[in-house]
């Protein structure tokens, strides 16, 4: 498995990152452990989790199941030094009763009741994550959901303290507007704080539909910003959009498709299917391969397989070699 430098840190991370969000809840422990073992045996080293994973899968849970599972796996295998471990804070829900009042998790309420990125919250959150993971540090610590109610100076001071204490080596940000990211970087430069080296956003081959306002999906402005700042690596979550590229029936009415629906998406889906057939892989794997071919900006796709079968279905993307003509065809497809 090829690696890429994380920003300008000198750290080599796997080009394909393994998302552990549903490990320990939706994905049973034995299957999750097998995935972790096979990923590392294949040369992978970039594991991604968060303290809130996966509160929405178990009523009464505040999260932590994914970190706990990884902690057990690290303790059993002794592989802590073999992995680049990333986790996140700020998106635990304060009031579970309010979120579950209707019998199912209400995400609008959840977003209004996240604990946020206050200094005390982050300091307690990193300690909780380290305890569950069974380690004295993580390699990358993200602000999971940008908190615009807490002064950035407070958040950045807390993160600097976390890095200074050796509890995290680097910081990142997720689900954030480009103007906010620039402000964060300016404040870090002005006050000598550790600046983000990774940006985790939703990014795929499809482009979000015209007129959509969405804080988490990369747009043209954010791509331009990342191309101009190679000290930031884009960690692309939901790269295959819940697997919708392989299944036209699944795309119909699927929530993952809604932000992209339209003529542009139709044209790009057709192009992806065409090139996938030429190189002999599924459209899902083709999309991962296309992302792996991107160098400006550098992108590390973050897969989050639910099953071992889904994990194995992603691996052919690592071997795909796209020609310049195929890349051009994919890049220029659209309405």
Q: Give residue 276's pLDDT.
A: 98
- 37 in Cβ contact with 115 (< 8 Å): no
C-alpha distances in angstroms, 24 versus 55, 57, 267? 11, 10, 38
The strand ranges marked E within 238-324 are 299-303
Handedness of CA 75, 81, 82, 87 (dihedral sign): positive
What's the rounded Cα separation, in Å, for the pair 206 and 331? 10
Run of H or E residues at 169: strand 168-174
Q: Give residue 158's pLDDT.
A: 98
C-alpha distances in angstroms, 297 versus 14, 255, 257, 314, 316? 16, 27, 24, 22, 23
Give every residue of the chain whose pLDDT is below 50, as ranges.
Answer: none
Q: Give residue 335's pLDDT.
A: 79
C-alpha distances in angstroms, 91 versus 121, 142, 166, 304? 10, 11, 22, 18
Domain boundaries, the chain: 3-202
pLDDT tens digits, one per residue of 77-117: 999 999 999 999 999 999 999 999 999 999 999 999 999 99
What's the rounded Cα separation, in Å, for the pair 32 and 316? 20
Match domain 3-202 to its CATH number in 3.40.50.1370, 3.20.20.100, 3.20.20.140, 2.30.42.10. Answer: 3.20.20.100
Q: What is the largest CA-CA distance in the chain?
A: 54
What six digits make up the tokens of 224? Answer: 């331009």
């Amino acid at each position: 498995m090829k690696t890429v430098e994380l920003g300008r840190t000198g750290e080599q991370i796997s080009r394909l990152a393994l998302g552990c969000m549903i490990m320990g809840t939706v994905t049973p422990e034995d299957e999750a452990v097998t995935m972790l073992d096979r990923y590392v045996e294949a040369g992978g080293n970039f594991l991604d989790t968060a303290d809130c994973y996966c509160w929405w899968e178990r009523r009464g849970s505040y999260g932590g199941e994914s970190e706990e599972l990884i902690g057990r796996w690290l303790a059993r295998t002794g592989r802590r030094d073999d992995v680049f471990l990333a986790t996140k804070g700020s998106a635990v829900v304060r009031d579970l009763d309010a979120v579950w009042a209707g019998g199912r998790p209400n995400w609008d309420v959840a977003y209004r009741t996240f604990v946020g990125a206050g200094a005390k919250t982050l300091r307690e959150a990193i300690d909780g994550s380290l305890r569950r993971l069974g380690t004295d540090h993580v390699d990358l610590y993200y602000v999971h959901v940008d908190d615009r109610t807490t002064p950035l100076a407070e958040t950045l001071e807390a993160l600097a303290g976390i890095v200074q204490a050796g509890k995290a080596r680097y910081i990142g940000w997720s689900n954030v507007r480009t103007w906010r990211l620039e402000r964060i970087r300016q404040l870090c430069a002005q006050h000598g704080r550790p600046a983000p080296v990774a940006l985790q956003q939703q990014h795929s081959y499809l482009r979000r539909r015209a007129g959509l306002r969405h804080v988490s999906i990369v747009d043209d402005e954010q791509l331009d910003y990342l191309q101009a700042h190679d000290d930031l690596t884009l960690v692309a979550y939901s790269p295959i959009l819940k697997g919708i590229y392989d299944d036209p029936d699944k795309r119909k009415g699927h929530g993952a498709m809604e932000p992209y629906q339209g003529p542009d998406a139709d044209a790009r889906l057709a192009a992806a299917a065409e090139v996938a057939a030429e190189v002999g892989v599924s459209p899902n794997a083709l999309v991962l391969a296309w992302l792996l071919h991107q160098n400006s900006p550098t992108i590390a796709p973050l897969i989050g397989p639910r099953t071992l079968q889904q994990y194995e279905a992603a691996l052919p993307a690592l071997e795909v070699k796209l020609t310049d003509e195929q890349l051009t065809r994919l890049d220029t497809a659209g309405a």
